[in-house]
Amino acid sequence: MTTTQSAKAQLFRSLHTPGAPLALANAWDVASARVIESAGASAIATTSAGVAWSLGSPDGDVLARDQALGVISRVAAAVAVPVTADIEGGYGQDAAEVAETITGVLAAGAVGVNIEDGTRAPDELATRLAVARRTAERAGVELFLNARVDTYLLGLGDPVTRLEETLARARRYVDAGADGIFVPGVSDTATIAALAEGISVPLNVMAGPGAPSVAELGALGVARVSLGPGVAQAAYAAARRAARELFDTGDYDSLSGGITFPELNALLSESR
């Protein structure tokens, strides 16, 4: 671990403040990361879905670990701010392989990870989190371990008891070593407030159109707000609009408002 990586790890951890949430516009390649950093980001988070799509794979533990680590390494080398990586379920079939992934993430220069439960049993994710924590400790990196609870995103279990199930999973994951809990798929303010109150570590939610603002989420106790795959989806939608306009009408108005060639080229010409 370098002194720079250690400083970035400490900085990233300090940015998780209930009431003044860390806002993350997720990147999927070097260009998107540089654009987001230049817009004023205090940290860069990758989106596993966006990374997978950019490399020709669907999201959902399909992308090969080496491909994901390659993107993380390039992004971390291209920006000056801390980087946290979305690594889906850990890019491994078992805990030993998850440990290999964490080793690779740390070598790539990232200082945080998201690991998700999805449809896995909570005990399995807890095991993966514990292995990730031990791996980071052995490497001497203060890794921010964010555990994603997918009860709301995937509509798991009984809606009546979903909040209780989410809190129970969160407690299990914190006991296993999680530094933060990520609950995507929820925008109801009462539920978010209950999650923030019931979870002992920083709460991360995913935001998009129709969700409360960053300031409103902070007032509810949220410490981290991320856009997930939303920015990548918007970028691909822009590509589709431009293509459809070209093919359907022969016009080009969809290209207006784009980042200028010199500006984008300059962002990628700067050395780090």
CA distance 74 to 6: 18
Q: Tens digit of pLDDT for each residue in 61-107?
A: 899 999 999 999 999 999 999 999 999 999 999 999 999 999 999 99
Query: What's the average model confidence in pLDDT over 169-176?
Result: 98
CA distances from 66 to 56, 73, 114, 130, 244 (A): 14, 10, 17, 22, 34
Query: What's the average model confidence in pLDDT over 263-267?
Result: 95
pLDDT of residue 271: 53
44: which strand partners? Answer: 83
CA distance 98 to 113: 12
Q: Tens digit of pLDDT for each residue in 200-210?
A: 999 999 999 99
- Domain positions in the chain: 3-229
Q: Which residues contact 90 (CB under 8 A, 6 or more apart)?
A: 97, 98, 101, 102, 115, 128, 132
- Higher pLDDT pick, 202 / 6: 202
Query: What's the average model confidence in pLDDT over 178-194?
Result: 97
* pLDDT at position 44 over 80: yes
Q: Are 147 and 115 in contact (CB under 8 A)?
A: yes
Which of the four pLDDT bands, split at 50, 70 and 90, describes residue 246?
Answer: very high
pLDDT of residue 79: 97
Query: What's the average model confidence in pLDDT over 236-252?
Result: 97
pLDDT of residue 272: 57
H helices present in the chain, as ranges: 3-14, 30-38, 48-54, 65-78, 95-108, 122-139, 162-176, 189-198, 214-219, 230-248, 261-269
* pLDDT at position 142 over 80: yes
* pLDDT at position 234 over 90: yes
Give the CATH class of 3-229.
alpha beta
* Percentage of the chain exceeding pLDDT 90: 96
Dihedral sign for Cα atoms in the order 150, 152, 158, 161 = positive
What token pair was written down for 47? 């989106």
Average pLDDT value over all residues in the chain? 96
How does DSSP assign 206-251, residue by residue? E--TTSPPHHHHHHTT--EEE-TTHHHHHHHHHHHHHHHHHHHT--
In eight-state DSSP terms, residue 23 is E
pTM tops 0.85: yes
